[in-house]
Amino acid sequence: MKEYQVIVVGGGAAGMMAAGQAAKGGAKVLLLEKKERLGRKIAISGKGRCNLTNVENVSDFIGHYPGNGRFLHGILRDFDNVTLREFFASYGVETKVERGGRVFPVSDDAERIVEALTSFLKNMGVTVKAGITVEEVLVEDGRVVGVRGNGQRFLAPQVVICTGGSSYPATGSNGDGFRFARKLGHTVITPRPALVPLKTAEDWVKELQGLALRNVEGSLWIGGKKQAAEFGEMLFTHFGVSGPIILTLSRQAGDALREGKQVELKINLKPALSAEQLDNRIQRDFQKYSNKQCKNALDDLLPQSLIPVLIRLSGINPEGVVHQISREERKSLVKLLQGLPLTITGTLSLETAIVTAGGISVKEINPKNMASKCIKGLYWAGEVVDVDGITGGYNLQAAFAMGYRAGQAAGNVIGSWSD
């Protein structure tokens, strides 16, 4: 029963950063991870490429966290995107910027991020024990004294919980932290999926399975009113829709569905054109292919697989000749191209979500040091906290920044341990 000064539970982005920072401050640190290797979720993030942050001005980051962005204000300034990139560069991982300001390793290999963090832990002298499932946070007289896992007691006066949310449980994030929190008297805001694909009522999406669209706009309508819109890429699936703009809109869509509201998605396939410009473009195509069947007259405008679906939805006879199309039918097609409607019936499960919304209430965490307001010596960081952002590198940046602040506070032997 070896005693440590800081125990970090969870070897993900927040946990690895927290453990390294605590040790850097001079503390004797133990990192416990339930899986056999660290950084499992990092390794699969960004389709294995790891979108670790964004180059946007950090002062604008807050608006990209629908879940309690204001809580992160000082945290992100303390460990911002520039500092994060410099940290990885110091461990040999150069980064590059792609569309939308997304930052990736130049190698396009998420494993390089895990390797850098692992080297950081080793350099700082952190003791790592993998394959340890923490079952309980040990508390005496309102203060943490350690944790229990795999039938063992690991003792320390400071414990940082970085167990993640409930998404991708195969990586180790199965909601353990929420269970600890409830038992310790913390409020847990109901965990739910964020950044998750959406299910639709329309069967025709199955015909388009695998079709990816770029430079389109998706708008979210709740109760008949437009609530949000995103521009970028999307993907049709056998159950509905996915892709970056869908994931960003999914949190709001899911919350509305849980409230029993009607949710609709409208896809503008040609957002760069006004309705008049699009109508003129279609008229030119129709003149060009005036003697062709309708189903063969839109090849210049749309992906091949999308044409029969749109013609059918517009009510135009696909076998009819182009010059026979009425003005009303053409106008109907224009309207459809700039507002293809989809009825949203649900989201995929929390387990399949990229990020978990909900978690430990930020009202019960001190943002200055990530310390619990309920239990002395206890800290929370990462996805276990009720903070979530949109796609684009914001969630990993938040996890690293929260881990940085929690680790520094827990490792500050004189400051943190004197109360």
Mean pLDDT of 139-147: 97
Closest CA to 406 of 133, 83, 114, 25: 25
Statement to judge: residues 203 and 325 lie in one domain? yes
173 confidence band (pLDDT: 50, 70, 90): confident
Q: Which domain holds residue 284?
A: 197-347
In three-state secondary structure terms, 272 is coil
Mean pLDDT of 395-413: 95
Mean pLDDT of 110-124: 98
pLDDT at 419: 40
What are 383-400's pLDDT values in tens digits? 999 999 999 999 999 999
What are 305-364's pLDDT values in tens digits? 999 999 999 999 999 999 999 999 999 999 999 999 999 999 999 988 999 999 999 999
CA distance 192 to 354: 11
Pairing of strands 225-236, 212-222: antiparallel
Give the CATH number, domain containing residue 59. Answer: 3.50.50.60
- As a whole-number percent, the residues of the chain with pLDDT over 90 amount to 93
Statement to judge: residues 30 and 66 lie in one domain? yes
Give the CATH number, domain containing residue 288. Answer: 1.10.8.50
Statement to judge: residues 57 and 183 lie in one domain? yes
Residue 2 predicted with pLDDT over 80: no
pLDDT at 3: 86
Q: How many domains does the chain have?
A: 2
Tokens of 53: 């942050």
CA distance 85 to 56: 13
Q: How far is CA 302 from the centre of its chain?
A: 30
Statement to judge: residues 161 and 14 lie in one domain? yes
What are 235-266's pLDDT values in tens digits? 999 999 999 999 999 999 999 999 999 999 99
CA distance 364 to 254: 25
